[in-house]
Structure 1
Amino acid sequence: MNIWSYILKRVLLMVPTLFGVIAITFAVIQFVPGGPVEQAMLEMKGRGGGGEASGGGAATGASAYRGRQGIDEQRIEEIKKLYGFDKPPAERFWGMVKGFLTFDLGKSFYHHGDVWTLVKSKLPVSISIGLWTFFLSYLISIPLGIAKAVREGTRFDGFTSALVLVGYSIPGFVLGVFLLVVFAGGSFLQWFPLRGLTSDNWENLSLLGKVTDYLWHITLPVAASVIGSFAVITMLTRNTFLEEIRKQYVLTARAKGLSERKVLYKHVFRNALIPLVTGFPAAFIASFFAGSLLIETLFSLDGMGLLAYESAIRRDYPVVMGTLYLFTLIGLVVKLLGDLCYVWADPRVQFESLAK
């Protein structure tokens, strides 16, 4: 099987997978209480009973009862039509799927706008945090893991292992609170801003001023996000390098008189990085879309994490389904890229074995 046949087979398998994820989620949503129609009715009931609810407990109960009886069937049908719930579930599902084929993700019930436009407006925050987290994690963890493998059993190895594991054990939002208290106007220092991605006067700053202001704002959120990710990549790099260093071809290279640096970076490096390279595309894309709700809330950053949470709470189904479709599609493509990277990193792997 050549590369193009493998890619075609995987693309064809993506279609039923994507369809199945969307269909299952849509079916589950039909049984979730508190949808947009119910929320609109509750809001109308609250308005209808608000003026009569001030006369004590009995009056409150009476007005609430009258509020429940105060919405006629015609008004309920109008609300259902407004949100598209006047159509059967099957018709709504196929209409949604047809829109997805042209990347029409629908209209948000709550934001009253296009879902794709809404997602694009939130991406700068998620990309800012994710991109810096991704690059800092790899740029620090891989050299650190190599250094730990070369110095196995030394004080440096033990100290750095304890350090990265302590960072891994601290939840990101707890570290974020600590950084805010210490460095952002708490009881100690006031070196960094409390909220936002840029200052209010960002548009009036020079190019250097804009870059400096952006880095100033992003420092604490990125620090809270990145420290916990050091441990996994660092320890994976260390253990993989140790496994390769102990293999026979390394002893042979050393016996030929090659320097330790050449043995490490010419012979060991490529084989040891295979687990990291194969996960590179997934980690790169996930860093953009796996926004942390708590980190964004702590630092008042309006990104994808906050959007996903609010959409689920408000039962904003077009946003939930649209983002699910988009991220599932990206995830399937990234999985394919990961397999291709695996073959690129290790030519011994054949497409026949990946296709099974």
Structure 2
Amino acid sequence: MTGYILRRLLLMIPTLLGVIVITFGVIQFVPGGPVQQYLIESRVAAGGSGADSGGGTYRGGQGVDPKRLEEIKALYGFDKPPLERLTQMLGRFARFDLGQSFFQNKSVWALIVEKLPVSLSLGLWTFLISYAIAVPLGVAKAVRAGSRFDLWTSLLVLVGYAIPGFVLGVALLVIFGGQLQWFPLRGLTSSNWEELSWGARIVDYLWHITLPVTAMVLGSFAITAILTKNSFLEEIRKQYVLTARAKGLKDRQVLWKHVFRNALIPIVTGFPAAFIGAFFTGSLLIETLFSLDGLGLLSYESVIRRDYPVVLGTLYFFTLIGLLTKLVSDLCYVWVDPRVKFD
């Protein structure tokens, strides 16, 4: 086991390196880099626009003093060759230094720590509610396999899975946020949240998070529900279940004492991936739609503004978390089922 873990940890290095190098290479060919973004913002701040006043086309660094342009490039490190910049960045990443944002005057780590609570909040509620619905539903479907209940719930699960989360989010915003005005349209808390009592803060927080969590849950619990059903059906058909029933055990005892423990192995081992995936998967569109200042919105705005340290830093962070989560998921198979060996 120790050798397996060490091999997996060592394999993370070329994977991380490949992801960062490929992304860095793509960035070199993307038009409108940080220097151009700075020039556009400077012109807008000066009362002009990012477009040519005569022809209405973007001029880039045209008309800017060459000496000033070189100073701006040096400010963002673009006065150095790409290979040298890549080497310096990889050296920082090896020390877990993600660098400094070009436009927000903060370190990337500070931005991640600042935005992480919002994504954690969304992900935690999505994970808990999804599994709280999916596992009991999957067990009920397996016990009643082939019945009307199984048919109708399968239809509802597939419809929920087929509707993208952001489309459902738009519908929820229009109906419950716009027309009925039952829920707020944006934010995670009200503007006067600090002035509220603790009880009122909890109610206000739950009031704000209801719509985004609903939009994320309806699409995420479908796979878990179907997996639970199929896992239980597979176990129910095995010989040890027939033997337990032949000994006179009731169906409820067979289900919860024998089948349940074995059927949950593939579900429990998927906990780490589902737990982490709930924080990042699909959160970009939901956070943008509901104006929630989390990691998804941070990544989106960084790409739009060409804030490359934030783009590459968050990508490094997400990739590292994903690789570690995959390792933990694989190790869970051994912890849950001792029959599994990684020899």
Question: TM-score range with shorter-chain normalisation?
Answer: over 0.9
SS at match of 2:54: helix
1:13 pairs, out of 11, 36, 49, with 11
Is the 2:39–2:60 contact (alpha carbons within 8 Å) kept by the matching residues of 1? no
**Which entry has the higher C-alpha Rg, 1 or 2?**
1
1:30 pairs, out of 28, 31, 34, with 28
Provide closer, same or farther for how the CA distance between residues 24 and 64 of structure 1 changes in structure 2, counting only shifts above 3 A: closer
How does the TM-score come out when normalised to structure 1?
0.89
- Mapped partners of 1:25, 1:65: distance in 2: 26
1:88 pairs, out of 81, 89, 93, with 81
- Mapped partners of 1:68, 1:167: distance in 2: 49
Is the 2:36–2:60 contact (alpha carbons within 8 Å) kept by the matching residues of 1? no
- Mapped partners of 1:284, 1:47: distance in 2: 43
1:220 pairs, out of 186, 206, 211, with 211
Is the 1:130–1:291 contact (alpha carbons within 8 Å) kept by the matching residues of 2? no
- Mapped partners of 2:172, 2:59: distance in 1: 51
Q: Indicate the residue corresponding to 1:202 in structure 2.
A: 193
Provide closer, same or farther for how the CA distance between residues 67 and 218 of structure 1 changes in structure 2, counting only shifts above 3 A: closer
Q: Indicate the residue corresponding to 1:193 in structure 2.
A: 184
SS at match of 1:6: helix
Match status 1:246 vs 2:237: yes
SS at match of 1:195: coil
Is the 2:165–2:282 contact (alpha carbons within 8 Å) kept by the matching residues of 1? no
- Mapped partners of 1:273, 1:95: distance in 2: 46
Q: Indicate the residue corresponding to 2:112 in structure 1.
A: 119
For 2:27, give the aligned amino acid: I
Q: How many residues align?
A: 342
**Unaligned residue ranges in structure 2 (runs of 5+):** none
Is the 1:126–1:303 contact (alpha carbons within 8 Å) kept by the matching residues of 2? yes
Q: Cα distance, 1:47 vs. partner?
A: 7.9
Q: Indicate the residue corresponding to 1:168 in structure 2.
A: 161
Q: Indicate the residue corresponding to 1:298 in structure 2.
A: 289
Match status 1:107 vs 2:105: no
How does the TM-score come out when normalised to structure 2?
0.92
Superposed counterparts of 1:1-356, under 5 Å: 3-42=1-40, 50=48, 60-61=54-55, 69-184=62-177, 186-187=178-179, 189-352=180-343
| Aligned alpha-carbon RMSD (Å) | 2.4
Q: Cα distance, 1:69 vs. partner?
A: 4.6
Provide closer, same or farther for how the CA distance between residues 145 and 318 of structure 1 changes in structure 2, counting only shifts above 3 A: same
Identity of aligned pairs, percent?
A: 70
- Mapped partners of 1:300, 1:68: distance in 2: 33
